[in-house]
A and B are shown apart, each in its own frame.
Chain A
Amino acid sequence: MPAIQMSNVSVVYKGSKESALDQITLEVEEGEMLLLLGRNNSGKSTFCRLLNGLVPHSIPSTLTGAAAVFGKDISRGKVASLSTSVGMVFQEPESQLFCMSAEEEIAFGPENIAVPRAEIVSRVEWALDIVGLRGYNSRSPASLSGGEMQRLAIAAALSMHPRMMVLDEPAYALDPVGREELYSLLRRLKERFGMTVIIAEHGAEEAIQFCDRVVVLAKGRVLADGSPRDILSDETLFDFAGVSAPQLSRLSSIMRRRSLGTGSSIHTIDDAVREVQDAISTGGQEVPR
């Protein structure tokens, strides 16, 4: 059974004439790590909110088409059962934090599903540790820095040991090392436990290297769907979608245009070093294509 199945899914918010999601058809396998890219208003958050039934059940909106998460039909409203299998980190984590201490925040979900006390204690320590907040147990969430709040929201979602993690722009408040750590943590959880991971971002610079698959949204539609390599090789896609292209793919396309290097695609720092070395060492002579 796929983790996500969507067939002709459209979402229209109450009071709006346009579809926030427009005829989306896709399947995500369990254990896939998917990057959802798109500019402002392209529908990323709407897609995320659909995955735990917030849309259409809590935010007034109409869903058409067939949408299922772990085989559960989203339109049929049994959303509570999804909250244990789908961990959400919202675009604005501060709005998600409501407890008096970091520890309570993390314990809240597991307590609700009657995880034994000893197990909760160890999950709290585990979750604080993996997001870099060890020792923050009794800190009030409101007194945390922006990035620390983001880390706490991630810890709280992970403490449920969800089958799927959905993170809506998790990166912006994190420092760059923290971003790398988050993406590789998610990658490890995917590999170890088969966790399905959905990450929404509006830039492709970092996350794309960690994901199996990229879906590019534009105006609520799927503009492209493919492997990171496929997506990165499409030179016009990023501009078209209004998404910032990774620096290395911009390098790749400028070098090709100027006939510098061997013309092979640049996906990694190593690729880039090799291509630039080639371009410099072959001097002024044209390289045959």
Chain B
Amino acid sequence: MTPGGEPGESVVTVDGVSFSYEGGFEALVGVSMRVRRGEYIAIAGGNGSGKTTLAKHINGLLHPSVGRVTTCGMRTDETSVANLARKVGYVFQNPDHQLFCTTVEEEVRFGLENMDFEESESAPKAQAAMELVDIVALRDRPPFTLSLGDRRKVTIASVLAAEPEILVLDEPTTGLDHHDSEHLMSTLRALNRSGRTIVLISHDMRLVAEHVDRAVLMAAGRILVDADVGAVFSDLELLREAKLVAPPITQVAHRLAPLGVSPSTFTPSQLVQQIEVLRGGGG
């Protein structure tokens, strides 16, 4: 399941982490989790549950008040953000917190140049990233004049350009419509297949159910459950506790479990396949 890496090797280790913001609010409380190379995981949970705070610990933007975080073998509190950024690409929840260059192309190349790539290397890498998210036509536009969806794509391209080992994306489908978010999800799927480790923060349970292997659910700064997606979606009460709602098809599947339908059914076609098997068996 983890092509191109050593399965089981931990690339992110969060160990007993608590974190308080200035003013004393404890946003993380005794959080421990790990991410293994090549995994595709989701962090989900209610507003204010600590998802963004946890994500910013992975790349050293925030340091634990208690406990430690190790990313790609480096203690985040002993490593510069710039060094961590070579390994971890981070797409911010709000694209405007990330954008500051005067054109889209500069924005996409900025990170590369900061990592000392020669122009001969950075130009084609930026081009490829812009092609991947379909923003080549916007290359000379100032990012701040773009729509939310297009600004979102610029931030994704600028992170993908550097081909980081680990991608942390905080609600990356924000502002993207159906077509564009499907496109992004298949891009992420392909990157994951080629060995990239992905941490996706999302409120879109359809995306989580259909694309991710493992989900970490948070509530009030704590990890409520950390399990494979099938197990997470088999407990509707637990989902509610995390302020989440299973996709409608999954809710239907739960009601039909007595007839032999699997509770880990996430899409209409998965449900129809089971109908066909079950009625074949019965008739």
**Chain B associates with chain A:** yes
A residues apposed to B, CB below 8 Å = 39-41, 91-92, 94, 132, 143-148, 150-151, 169, 172-178, 180, 202-203, 205, 242-244, 246-248, 250-251, 254-255, 258, 260, 269, 272-273, 276-277, 279-285
Contact A146 B171 (CB under 8 A): yes
Contacts of A244 in B (CB 8 A): 177-178
Contacts of A180 in B (CB 8 A): 245
Interface check B194, CB cutoff 8 A: no
Contact A175 B243 (CB under 8 A): yes
Contact A146 B275 (CB under 8 A): no
Contacts of B261 in A (CB 8 A): 276
Contacts of A148 in B (CB 8 A): 47-48
Contact A243 B178 (CB under 8 A): yes
* Cα A143 to Cα B176 with chains together (Å): 25
Contact A269 B275 (CB under 8 A): no
Contact B178 A250 (CB under 8 A): no
A177 to nearest B CB, angstroms?
4
Contact B279 A280 (CB under 8 A): yes
B267 (CB) vs chain A CBs: closest residue: A247
B93 (CB) vs chain A CBs: closest residue: A146
Interface check B128, CB cutoff 8 A: no
Q: Specify which of A243, A269, A283 is in contact with B255 (CB 8 Å cutoff).
A: A269
Contacts of B262 in A (CB 8 A): none
* Cα A281 to Cα B275 with chains together (Å): 10
Interface check B147, CB cutoff 8 A: yes
Interface check B132, CB cutoff 8 A: no
* Cα A86 to Cα B262 with chains together (Å): 47
Task: Write the B157-187 contact mask toward A (1 if CB under 8 angstroms, else 0).
Answer: 0000000000000010111111110000000
Contact B171 A172 (CB under 8 A): yes
Q: Specify which of B148, B244, B248, B256 is in contact with A175 (CB 8 Å cutoff).
A: B244
Contacts of A250 in B (CB 8 A): 268
B256 to nearest A CB, angstroms?
6
B43 to nearest A CB, angstroms?
12
Residue among B240, B252, B255 with max Cβ neighbours from chain A (10 Å) = B252
Q: Specify which of A40, A178, A280 is in contact with B46 (CB 8 Å cutoff).
A: A178
* Cα A151 to Cα B94 with chains together (Å): 16
Contacts of A144 in B (CB 8 A): 48
* Cα A281 to Cα B258 with chains together (Å): 13
Interface check B278, CB cutoff 8 A: yes
Contacts of B48 in A (CB 8 A): 144-145, 147-148
